[in-house]
């Protein structure tokens, strides 16, 4: 039975290490919210104030994951950490290597989670107009058991896909013609689309032996599916990276605060100050690197948002029936990527603030 390029891609996207938004839909609360009162007050212990601010921001960050569009396994795990009676300690453990976040990521490898994600993606990308049999079968599988979803992934999808293709080929009156310009456009996407999975989808539609029906299906759902996979991969990527950065930040600030405290009454004051300065420098370098990473993510999200804006505009203006099915997904993707762009900008702002605070601490311990 014929299988689509994205069956394997879709069931393994959760395993990508290069591909997540933290809280899709808006800038993360931890990124653009004012720092806590403990951090903003003129404290007699600025190191402790910064440590408290970072701890509160970490809690806000975990909350942003809990309410995000990341997989359910990650959201539920984040809520469990937030509800723990151990407070900041539980948050730190959740973000640490081998902690709750890492365990939840491992659960994404479970076949049941992958099968459910696959079915959800099919429902989101296959319209009832173009793929009625596939859409109905996917919705039925979602409402069914784990075994139902496994059967859909294994063979049900391909079987329903064949029924849809046979129906389209038999419907001579509404058959969509594929012009050379349509094929050339897909070839251009295969080379230049900003999303890896869109490029893969386009390449599949143009593979040796592919027919006009494959081009039609690319416009019908392959393009939207590739876009969905790219967005999922991005969200997982940024959440993986930011969780690791947050865990490291907590450790670096704790180490720097201890080093600064050790300056008081040290037998060798010069040595103690040098160690404290180096510790705060490590914090500032970490924050500076994180800011640069988020600026790069902001640029990538902006490119995707502009790309999907152009696609949505072209679909709206085109009289070509092939473009009919991509308009709504393109508008949704434009909105999602614009939100990712805003979130990345706010995150870069958070790390810029941390960088500046750490530099102030460096200057402070110099005496």
DSSP per-residue string spanning 69-112: SS-HHHHHHHHHHHH-TTTHHHHHHHHSTTSHHHHHHHHTTSHH
pTM of the model: 0.86
CA distance 273 to 80: 40
| Mean pLDDT computed over 115-124 | 95
Specify burial of residue 169 (Cβ count, 10 A radius: 0-12, 13-18, 19+): exposed
H or E stretch including 257? helix 223-263
Secondary structure (3-state) at 210: coil
Q: Would you say 118 and 13 are in contact if contact means Cβ atoms under 8 Å apart? A: no
CA distance 295 to 27: 14
Per-residue pLDDT at 44: 65
What domain count does the chain have? 1
Q: Would you say 146 and 242 are in contact if contact means Cβ atoms under 8 Å apart? A: no
Q: Is residue 57 a part of any domain in this protein?
A: no
Q: Would you say 274 and 365 are in contact if contact means Cβ atoms under 8 Å apart? A: no
Alpha helices in 126-222 (DSSP H): 132-143, 146-151, 157-170, 180-192, 196-205, 212-217
- Sequence-separated (6 or more) residues with CB below 8 Å from residue 51: 253, 254, 257
Per-residue pLDDT at 290: 98
- Sequence-separated (6 or more) residues with CB below 8 Å from residue 263: 269, 272, 273, 276, 365
Q: Is residue 13 a part of any domain in this protein?
A: no
Q: What is the mean pLDDT of the chain?
A: 88
Pick 11 or 92 by higher pLDDT: 92
CA dihedral of 346, 347, 352, 354, whole degrees rounded to 10: 120
CA distance 197 to 112: 23
Q: Would you say 264 and 52 are in contact if contact means Cβ atoms under 8 Å apart? A: no
Q: Is residue 3 a part of any domain in this protein?
A: no
Q: Is residue 172 a part of any domain in this protein?
A: no
- Tell me how far apart the terminal alpha carbons of the chain are, to the nearest angstrom: 74
Q: Is the predicted pLDDT of residue 34 greater than 60, yes or no?
A: no
Q: Is the predicted pLDDT of residue 25 greater than 70, yes or no?
A: no
Q: Is residue 92 a part of any domain in this protein?
A: no
Kindly indicate the confidence band of residue 18, based on its pLDDT and cuts at 50, 70 and 90: very low
In the chain, what percentage of residues exceed pLDDT 70? 87
Give the up-direction half-sphere exposure of residue 216: CA atoms within 13 A in the CB hemisphere: 15
Pick 34 or 54 by higher pLDDT: 54
CA distance 122 to 119: 5
> What domain range includes position 245?
222-367
Residue 341's CB is within 10 A of a number of other CB atoms, namely 21
Q: Is residue 273 a part of any domain in this protein?
A: yes
pLDDT tens track for 250-270: 999 999 999 999 998 889 999
Q: Is residue 44 a part of any domain in this protein?
A: no
Q: Would you say 242 and 21 are in contact if contact means Cβ atoms under 8 Å apart? A: no
CA distance 323 to 182: 10
Q: Is the predicted pLDDT of residue 350 greater than 80, yes or no?
A: yes
Q: Would you say 239 and 61 are in contact if contact means Cβ atoms under 8 Å apart? A: no
Kindly indicate the confidence band of residue 366, based on its pLDDT and cuts at 50, 70 and 90: confident
In the chain, what percentage of residues exceed pLDDT 90? 79
pLDDT tens track for 138-194: 999 999 999 999 999 999 999 999 999 999 988 866 677 889 999 999 999 999 999
Q: Would you say 344 and 291 are in contact if contact means Cβ atoms under 8 Å apart? A: no
Q: Would you say 190 and 206 are in contact if contact means Cβ atoms under 8 Å apart? A: yes
Q: Is residue 255 a part of any domain in this protein?
A: yes
């Amino acid at each position: 039975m014929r299988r689509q390029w994205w069956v394997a891609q879709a069931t393994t996207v959760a395993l990508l290490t290069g591909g997540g938004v933290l809280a899709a839909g808006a800038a993360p609360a931890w990124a653009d919210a004012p720092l806590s009162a403990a951090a903003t007050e003129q404290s007699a212990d600025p190191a402790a104030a910064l440590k408290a601010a970072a701890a509160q921001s970490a809690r806000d960050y975990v909350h942003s994951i809990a309410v995000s569009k990341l997989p359910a396994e990650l959201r539920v795990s984040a809520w469990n950490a937030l509800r723990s009676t151990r407070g900041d300690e539980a948050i730190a453990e959740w973000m640490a290597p081998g902690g709750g976040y890492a365990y939840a990521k491992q659960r994404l490898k479970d076949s049941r989670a992958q099968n459910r994600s696959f079915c959800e993606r099919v429902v989101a990308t296959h319209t009832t107009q173009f793929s009625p049999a596939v859409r109905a079968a996917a919705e039925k599988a979602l409402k069914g058991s784990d075994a139902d979803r496994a059967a859909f992934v294994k063979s049900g999808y391909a079987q329903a896909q064949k029924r849809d293709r046979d129906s389209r080929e038999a419907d001579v009156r509404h058959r969509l013609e594929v012009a050379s310009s349509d094929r050339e456009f897909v070839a251009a996407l295969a080379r230049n689309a900003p999303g890896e999975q869109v490029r893969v989808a386009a390449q599949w539609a143009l593979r040796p032996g592919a027919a006009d029906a494959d081009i039609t299906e690319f416009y019908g759902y392959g393009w939207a599916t590739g876009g969905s996979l790219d967005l999922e991969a991005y969200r997982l990527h940024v959440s993986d990276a930011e969780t690791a950065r947050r865990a490291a930040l907590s450790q670096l600030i704790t180490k720097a605060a201890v080093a600064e405290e050790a300056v008081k009454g040290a037998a060798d004051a010069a040595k103690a100050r040098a160690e404290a300065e180096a510790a705060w420098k490590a914090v500032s370098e970490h924050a500076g690197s994180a800011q640069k990473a988020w600026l790069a993510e902001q640029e990538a999200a902006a490119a995707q948002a502009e790309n999907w804006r152009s696609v949505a505009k072209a679909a709206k203006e085109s009289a070509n029936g092939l473009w009919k099915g991509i308009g709504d997904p393109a508008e949704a993707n434009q909105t999602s990527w614009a939100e990712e762009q805003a979130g990345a900008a706010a995150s870069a702002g958070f790390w810029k603030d941390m960088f500046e605070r750490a530099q102030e601490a460096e200057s402070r311990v110099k005496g």
